[in-house]
Chain A
């Protein structure tokens, strides 16, 4: 055991990747399972606020974009469940924990999307914050998670840009449209800041995660980076961020800003956000409504696998020669 542990420590110290079949401390495995599952659940639950607007998209172009984006969120959830499974959990088990509220997802998705401007602001601020969080995870010490994040980050860039473009278009529209964008920004600014998690002093797991190379930056470092990146983007849009305390601090070379209401954050995490119950109920219903499809697919596969089952051969050809 000591030899295994020494090898694990040496791999981490050399900034190399831990791979699924390597020995790892149980706490490392448990931390990763919790984090990756929570991340996967966030992608899956994150389809809901936006999916709600697909049928009400203002044009075919916007509808196609929103569909592709929501489909990506599903894909990201699947990449992450696949990564979690390399740690010895089953994705169905994870889904069951989600709908039993035994595992969490990002607090941001407990806020509703109330107007089409929200679709733009979610892309700009929420996906922007997610990118800030996720880019360093591409160098996470656990190989499968890092590889999933590389794939996700490539796709996430489209999410943010389509949101920003949507907002630019609305800002060139009518006064009413500009007001919608401002109102939406006012609602999403604070929850977006909360996406980085509690302040460093209140984030007990951060230090160990950083020692293990799972996290590369603290919550407050990433939050600061997000604020600094967002300020010029807001200016280019002609939007006012709803923080009177926001100001450039030349001494620090960064913006000072007002922290979000951490009591609200705690309450939303604890289940009292505007949409917590609705999100879980919807996910549970989707899972249960899909049960007959899964059963039918299993029965069909078994029938075709049976010796006299007949049925068409699979459409893909076998690889044949060895790679």
Chain B
């Protein structure tokens, strides 16, 4: 799973198969800064044996056309995400605070620069 996935969807791994003996490579989420002045943005994921390999693979996979000037790779396991199930209550506190937006305040049209 990737994309900050958290659902405990079982990944079937039949015991006894040869490939099951090989420890699977960790899943890394990849974030790219498109150019100076922009935030890093999540672009996808990949598997790698370690962080350095993840970084090199991310460069080859996600920046073949100069799409980035900086890359972060983060082990998917290390990401804590809010749960979609608690979505509504989790974000509810912001829901009734309309006074946090500038449009909440009525200002006469003829007052400049405001």
Which residues of chain A have C-beta atoms less than 8 A from B1's C-beta? 20, 85-88
Partner of A78, one of B3, B39, B61: B61
Is A75's CB within 8 Å of the partner chain B?
Answer: yes
- Contacts A21-B7, A82-B2, A301-B50 given; does A323 touch B64 at CB 8 Å: no
A23–B81 Cα gap in the complex (Å)?
Answer: 16
The answer to whether A89 and B11 touch across the interface, beta carbons within 8 angstroms, is yes
Q: Is the CB of B52 within 8 A of A314?
A: yes
Interface mask (A301-323 → B, CB under 8 Å = 1, otherwise 0)? 10011000000001110010001
Give the docked Cα–Cα distance between A203 and B5 (Å).
32
Residue A266, interface by CB 8 Å: no
A85 and B2: CB pair below 8 A?
A: yes
Interface centre among B2, B24, B46, B73 (most CB of A within 10 A): B2
Complex-state Cα separation, A177 to B68, whole angstroms: 41
The CA of A304 and the CA of B46, in the complex, are separated in Å by 20
User: Among the listed B23, B31, B51, B71, which residue makes an inter-chain contact with A314, where contact means beta carbons less than 8 Å apart?
Assistant: B51
C-alpha gap A144/B5 in the complex (Å): 11
Residue pair A297, B3 in contact (C-beta under 8 Å): no
Flag whether A165 is at the interface (Cβ < 8 A): no
Report the bound CA distance from A304 to B1 in whole Å. 26
B4 close to A301 (CB less than 8 A) = no
In the bound complex, do residue B72 and residue A319 qualify as a contact, i.e. CB atoms below 8 Å apart?
Answer: yes
Bound Cα distance from A251 to B49, whole angstroms:
60
Compute how far the CA of A304 lies from the CA of B89 in the bound complex, rounded to whole angstroms.
44
The 8 A CB mask of A80-102 against B (1 = contact, 0 = none) is 00110111111111001000000
Interface size on B, residues (CB 8 A): 42
In the complex where A21-B6, A23-B84, A88-B11 touch, is A305 in contact with B61 (Cβ < 8 A)?
A: no
State which of A21, A300, A304, A315 has its C-beta within 8 Å of the C-beta of B81.
Answer: A21
Task: Report Cα–Cα, A273/B75, bound state, in Å.
Answer: 42
Flag whether B22 is at the interface (Cβ < 8 A): yes
Report the separation of the CA atoms of residues A305 and B26 in the bound assembly, to the nearest whole angstrom: 14
Q: In the complex, A54→B7 CA distance in Å?
A: 43
Tell me, in angstroms, the Cα distance from A278 to B44 when the chains sit together: 31
**Assuming A19-B84, A20-B5, A21-B6, is B49 touching A298 (CB within 8 A)?**
yes
Specify which of A75, A83, A89, A319 is in contact with B64 (CB 8 Å cutoff): A75
How many residues belonging to A are interface residues under a CB distance threshold of 8 Å? 42
B53 interface contact, C-beta 8 A? yes
For residue A216, give the distance in angstroms from its CB to the closest CB of chain B.
22
Task: Give A41-82 as 1s and 0s: 1 = Cβ < 8 Å from B's Cβ atoms.
Answer: 000000000000000000000000000100110010011001
Q: Would you call B9 an interface residue if the criterion is a C-beta within 8 Å of the partner chain's C-beta atoms?
A: yes
Cβ of A82 and Cβ of B55 under 8 Å apart?
Answer: no
Given contacts A21-B7, A86-B5, contact A298 B23 (CB under 8 A): yes
Q: Decide if A85 touches B7 in the complex (CB within 8 Å).
A: no
* Beta-carbon contact of A323 and B39 below 8 Å: yes
Instruction: Please determine whether A297 and B83 come into contact, CB atoms closer than 8 angstroms.
Output: no
Apart from A19-B84, A86-B5, A314-B51, what 18 extra A-B contacts exist at CB < 8 Å? A20-B1, A21-B7, A22-B84, A23-B84, A78-B61, A82-B46, A85-B1, A86-B1, A87-B1, A87-B9, A91-B47, A92-B19, A147-B44, A301-B49, A315-B55, A316-B71, A323-B31, A323-B39
- Residue ranges of A at the interface with B (Cβ–Cβ < 8 Å): 19-23, 68, 71-72, 75, 78-79, 82-83, 85-93, 96, 143-144, 147-148, 151, 155, 294-295, 297-298, 300-301, 304-305, 314-316, 319, 323
